Amino acid sequence: MPFTADQPPPRQIGTTKTGKKSIRLIGDIYKERLRTGQPVVSIEFFPPKTPSGDTRLFDHTLPALQRLAPDFYSVTYGAGGSTRDKTLEVVDRIQQEHQTTTMAHLTCISSSLAQIKHYLFEARQRGIRNILALRGDPPQDSSISADTSKSFEYAFQLVSFIKQLGGFSIGTAGFPESHVACDQGKHVDWQRLKVKIEAGADFVLTQLFFNNDDYFIFRDYLVNTLGVEVPITPGLLPIQSTKQIKRFTALCGATLPASLLTKLEKLGDDTTAVSEFGIEFASRQSEALIAGGAPGLHIYSLNKPDAASQILKNLSLRA
């Protein structure tokens, strides 16, 4: 079901004076960077929930990160569509104010087909060219309505739907330690990732992890055993608080290695020391990932600029 003539044309944004488009398909960004041997740097935000959160993101975080010229940003989609409009608004505003490619996340688990279509048409109309196609987690908040009629159960179905629609570069999620809910073992989960790629995903962004061997084993299995050819980019979360990282890893099923936990516990409640350690750890982790052939880095910024900026500076990855 491709876009048809009765749909309004996409708004043209981000065309430079020389006619070059600055809002690009992420699949093309990867191809270009891989040709020149440079890692693709991307930074993830969540849509702020308050006006002061908007101000922080747009007046502080983004101007600071823009100085580092990341290749693209991405903006998450709240469980069950709870940030449906806000995600598109934030992506649109970043693209318009900063002429930098920004990807909208989209989950399918609690959305009707009509809601998904509406989101994609609106994205296209706003000049958004990239979608991270996800299943999402079932909403825990019972106040969020879940119209699941005629929708999709798994992300591969959403990827396939967006691919048929056309006009977007599509990303998908990968799990180096296997998806937390997959009880048939990591190879089954990774085979399912291959299905998402065959359905039309142009690149994979991974869940956070702290042991690089997990990424390399996952990547090598996908490439050498399953024949996957799209870029598989590691997702990195610079640790900013011990309590927070324990909560995140418990939720997503990532392992917090014992040696890392011991170090964090020694630092106790000294948040400055924990953040500095988090930056140092993520910088060393990133350096080894790139040395091992990772095509880029996707940094979960939690809407703060300092850790991402410092990591990229430590790696001399950007200006």
Ligand X SMILES: Cc1cc2nc3c(=O)[nH]c(=O)nc-3n(C[C@H](O)[C@H](O)[C@H](O)COP(=O)(O)OP(=O)(O)OC[C@H]3O[C@@H](n4cnc5c(N)ncnc54)[C@H](O)[C@@H]3O)c2cc1C
Q: Which residues are catalytic?
A: 44
Contacts of ligand X in 115-174 (CB under 6 A): 132, 134-137, 154-156, 173
Quote the least distance from Cβ 126 to ligand X, whole Å: 17
Helix axes 155-165, 113-125, angle to 10 degrees: 50
* Residue nearer to ligand X on the CB measure, 46 or 281: 46
User: Which residue in the set 45, 72, 73, 77 belongs to the binding site for ligand X (CB under 6 A)?
Assistant: 77
Q: Alpha helix (H) ranges present in 184-257?
A: 186-198, 212-220, 242-252
Query: Could you tell me the two tokens for 208?
Result: 């956070």
Considering only residues 230 to 249 of the shown chain, the ones binding ligand X according to CB under 6 A are 235
24 or 179, CB closer to ligand X? 179
Beta strands in 102-162 (DSSP E): 102-107, 130-134
Contacts of 274 (CB under 8 A, 6+ apart): 239, 240, 241, 242, 264, 267
CB of 204 to ligand X, least distance (A): 9
| Among 266, 315, 241, residue whose Cα is nearest residue 41 | 315
Rounded-to-integer distance, Cα 215 and Cα 177, Å: 8
Q: How many other CB atoms are there within 10 angstroms of residue 48's CB atom?
A: 18
Among 126, 129, 179, 219, binds ligand X (CB under 6 A): 179
Tell the smallest beta-carbon distance from residue 214 to ligand X (Å): 13
- 192 torsion bin: left (phi>0), alpha (psi -120 to 50), beta (else): alpha
State the Cα–Cα distance between residues 14 and 22, nearest whole angstrom: 5
φ/ψ region of 49 (left if φ > 0, alpha if ψ in -120 to 50, else beta) reads: alpha
- Taking only Cα atoms into account, the Rg of the chain, rounded to an integer number of angstroms, comes to 19
**219: contact with ligand X by CB under 6 A:** no
Provide, rounded to whole angstroms, the least separation between the CB of residue 50 and ligand X. Answer: 19
Nearer to ligand X, 123 or 274 (CB): 123
Q: Quick check: 188 and 216 in contact, CB under 8 A?
A: no
Instruction: Kindly indicate which of the ranges 12-20, 30-38, 189-197, 276-284 contains the residues binding ligand X, using the contact rule CB under 6 A.
Output: 189-197
> What character string, x for contact with ligand X (CB under 6 A) and - otherwise, covers 81-120?
------------------------x-x-------------
**Distance in Å, CB of 205 to ligand X, minimum:** 4
Binding window for ligand X (CB under 6 A); candidates: 27-35, 123-131, 179-187, 304-312:
179-187
Which residue in this structure is represented by tokens 């879940």? Answer: 146
CB of 254 to ligand X, least distance (A): 10
Applying CB under 6 A, among 57, 201, 205, 294 the residue interacting with ligand X is: 205
CB 311, min distance to ligand X, A: 17
Nearest CB to ligand X, comparing residues 47 and 274: 47
Measured distance CA(235)–CA(278) in Å, rounded: 14
Contact by Cβ (8 Å): 190, 157:
no
Site membership for ligand X, residue 186 (CB under 6 A): no
Work out whether 297 is an interface residue with ligand X (CB under 6 A): no
Binding of residue 3 to ligand X (CB under 6 A): no
Element (H, E) at 313: helix 306-314
| Residues 17-76 contacting ligand X, CB under 6 A | 76
Binding site for ligand X (CB under 6 A): 76-77, 79, 105, 107, 132, 134-137, 154-156, 173, 179, 181-182, 189, 192, 196, 205-207, 235
